[in-house]
Structure 1
Amino acid sequence: MAQHFLLSAAARTLSLKSIFSEGEEAAYRRFCQLRWPETDGEPICPACGCVDVYDLTTRRRFKCAACHRQFSVTSGTIFASRKLAFVDLLGAICLFVNAAKGLSAVQMSRDLDVQYKTAFVLMHKLREAMKAETRDARLDGEVEVDGAAFGGHVRPANLKEERVDRRRRVNRSGKRRVVVVLRQRGGRTVTRIFLREAQGVEFARERIAPDTVVSADEVAHWDLLETDFDMQRINHSEGYSVGGAHTNLAESFFSRLRRMIGGQHLKVEGRYLDAYAAHAAWLEDHREESNGHLADCLIGGSYALIWPSISARFSVRV
């Protein structure tokens, strides 16, 4: 039997051992190369695009010869105003991408010896970069759509005669949210949070290209998509895959998200659920790539998240 990729040495191209043994300078150069790949890490002024730059080595800052602005490798990005050393920041990203089911902020704070708030904010910045990868994505080919409810658990009463039917809407918690996922077979995964699964119909119309084959379960509100797409329906009371119709990839995403919330985070507030869903989707889309590539992809995506708007609102915060 062939070895699974994730069990091979090719999947392990970055480790905490190598990060901390190589030191701060190597981590700093890695961030430079990922921000300015077109010049192999040589700085480019984010305000005017000039490549004629002075290197202020004692402060790890640069000064543009054209507009005379000072900037650093993190200026104008989600890493701006950081206090962590670059080696610690790279170590945090390594831990983050290595966790197949997510990582709690408490564990991150203990591993890096930083405050809980520091770990929490950093991890949500990274999740924002993950979400940005598919912000403008439009899915085509074969796409699966499904929804699942998270949060809003209602504890049953102690006495049997006082218990209510928690399936009825009147007895549900107002904290319950539904994650709707659109997953392209062989492509990307896009998610959004709603109060009810039926609201995902317009989301599907918005993010799925015409002439796409859409697979959905037997829930009635997906019938509204039949006027826009070639629909394949699967009744899960009859089988998980019948005649080629299935939503197994969407269910795989929900399996990872449930393990992430139940096993790592224990409870996620509704206002943060969108970020955790995007995190799980990113892990699903990149599940067959090495951890070194994942770290580089995440750092590069963090720079691309802010880069288009820097010239409009340049900041020298480092």
Structure 2
Amino acid sequence: MSQHFLLSAAARTLSLKAIYRGGERAAYRRFCELRWPETNGSPICPECGCVEFYDLKSRQRFKCAACHHQFSATSGTIFASRKLAFVDLLGAICLFVNASKGLSAVQLSRNLNVQYKTAFVLMHKLREVMARETAEARLEGEVEVDGAHFGGHVRPANWRSDRRDRRLLANRSGKRRVVVVLRQRGGRTLTRVFMKEAEGVAFAEERIEAGARLSADEVAHWDRLSARFDLQRVNHSEAYSENGVHTNMAESFFSRLRRMIRGQHHAVSGKYLGAYAGHAAWLEDHSLESNGDLADRLIGAALGAPVSRLWSGYWQRPAT
């Protein structure tokens, strides 16, 4: 019996033991190489593009020999103004990508001995980077579309006489959201959060190439997609798959997302549900890559992303 890739040694190419054994210098070097891969880690001035520099080693900064601009390996990126040491930042990313069902901010804060606020913002910055990877992606070929409800649980009253029918709109909390997923077989996974599943029709029309073959369940609003796509339907009350038509990959994504929310985060605000859905989609898309490749992919993307406008100064802004 062959061994699954995720259970093999090839899937484990990065560990906390190796990160902390290598120390700050090795972690710093890894960030430099991922920031400037074209020069093998030798810095390039972000202001003028000059490759000649002075190395201010005591401050982990560089000074451009041409324009005298000072910069670091994280200047102008989503990690700008970081306070964590590079070895701790690399360790945090290792823990983050190792968690196949997500990681809570409380757990990360305890593992690294940092404040909960630090862990919370860092993880959401990483999720922002994940979202950038598919920001312009369009799907083609065979695509599955489906939706699932999250949040908005209404606890039943203690006494049976006080309980109300929670299926009725008037007795709901108004916090329930729908995650719509578009998943290309052998390709990428795209997600978006809506108040109603029917709103996902426009999302599908926007992100799927015309002529693609779509698989969906028999919910009526997906009928509107038949004008642009080869729409195949499966009746889940009779079968989960019929003649090759199924939404099993979409259901696999929802399975991961539900376990992430219920098992790790326990509750997710509708405001941030899209970020967690994108995180689960990223994990699904890269599930057969080693943890070292996942860490390098995420760090490289983060060092190519601009300063976050959503998460910079998150705890200092007035409550909204």
TM-score range, shorter chain: over 0.9
Partner of 2:25: 25
Partner of 2:285: 285
Matches within 5 A, 1:117-266: 117-266=117-266
Letter matched to residue 71 of structure 2:
F
State the SS of the aligned residue for 1:23.
helix
Query: How far apart, CA to CA, are the structure 1 residues paired with 2:305 and 2:15?
Result: 25
Matches within 5 A, 1:75-114: 75-114=75-114
Query: How far apart, CA to CA, are the structure 1 residues paired with 2:46 and 2:180?
Result: 37
State the SS of the aligned residue for 1:21.
helix
Which has the higher mean CA deviation after the structures are superposed, 40-49 or 281-290? 40-49
Render the CA deviation track for 1:130-185: whole Å, top value 9, x for unaligned. 11110110011111010001000011122223222212222211111110000010
1:198: Cα distance to partner?
0.4
Over 4 Å off, 4+ runs: none
Query: How far apart, CA to CA, are the structure 2 residues paired with 1:23 and 1:123?
Result: 22
Query: How far apart, CA to CA, are the structure 2 residues paired with 1:102 and 1:80?
Result: 24
Letter matched to residue 183 of structure 2:
R
1:70 partnered with 2:70: yes
1:306: Cα distance to partner?
1.8
Query: How far apart, CA to CA, are the structure 1 residues paired with 2:66 and 2:302?
Result: 26
Matches within 5 A, 1:35-46: 35-46=35-46
Query: How far apart, CA to CA, are the structure 1 residues paired with 2:138 and 2:170?
Result: 36
1:243: Cα distance to partner?
0.9
Render the CA deviation track for 1:44-81: whole Å, top value 9, x for unaligned. 11122221222111211111122221100000111111
Letter matched to residue 29 of structure 1:
R
1:11 partnered with 2:7: no
Which has the higher mean CA deviation after the structures are superposed, 127-136 or 57-66? 57-66
Render the CA deviation track for 1:245-300: whole Å, top value 9, x for unaligned. 10000000000000000000000001110110000000000101100000000001
Letter matched to residue 166 of structure 1:
R
Letter matched to residue 191 of structure 2:
T
1:304: Cα distance to partner?
2.1
State the SS of the aligned residue for 2:275.
helix
State the SS of the aligned residue for 1:158.
coil
Render the CA deviation track for 1:218-256: whole Å, top value 9, x for unaligned. 000000000010101111001000011100000000000
Aligned length: 307
CA RMSD of aligned residues (A): 1.0
Query: How far apart, CA to CA, are the structure 2 residues paired with 1:197 and 1:169?
Result: 15
Partner of 2:61: 61
Query: How far apart, CA to CA, are the structure 1 residues paired with 2:67 and 2:221?
Result: 57
1:196: Cα distance to partner?
0.5
Letter matched to residue 200 of structure 2:
G
Query: How far apart, CA to CA, are the structure 2 residues paired with 1:195 and 1:43?
Result: 46
Query: How far apart, CA to CA, are the structure 2 residues paired with 1:167 and 1:134?
Result: 35
Partner of 1:268: 268
Query: How far apart, CA to CA, are the structure 1 residues paired with 2:58 and 2:158?
Result: 66
Partner of 1:298: 298
Query: How far apart, CA to CA, are the structure 1 residues paired with 2:235 and 2:204?
Result: 20
Query: How far apart, CA to CA, are the structure 2 residues paired with 1:184 and 1:90?
Result: 31
Partner of 1:315: none
Query: How far apart, CA to CA, are the structure 1 residues paired with 2:106 and 2:291?
Result: 22
Q: Return 5+ residue gaps in structure 2 as ranges.
A: 308-320
Query: How far apart, CA to CA, are the structure 2 residues paired with 1:74 and 1:22?
Result: 20
Query: How far apart, CA to CA, are the structure 2 residues paired with 1:243 and 1:171?
Result: 40
Query: How far apart, CA to CA, are the structure 1 residues paired with 2:156 and 2:166?
Result: 8
TM-score (norm 1): 0.95
Which has the higher mean CA deviation after the structures are superposed, 163-172 or 236-245? 163-172
Query: How far apart, CA to CA, are the structure 1 residues paired with 2:13 and 2:222?
Result: 43
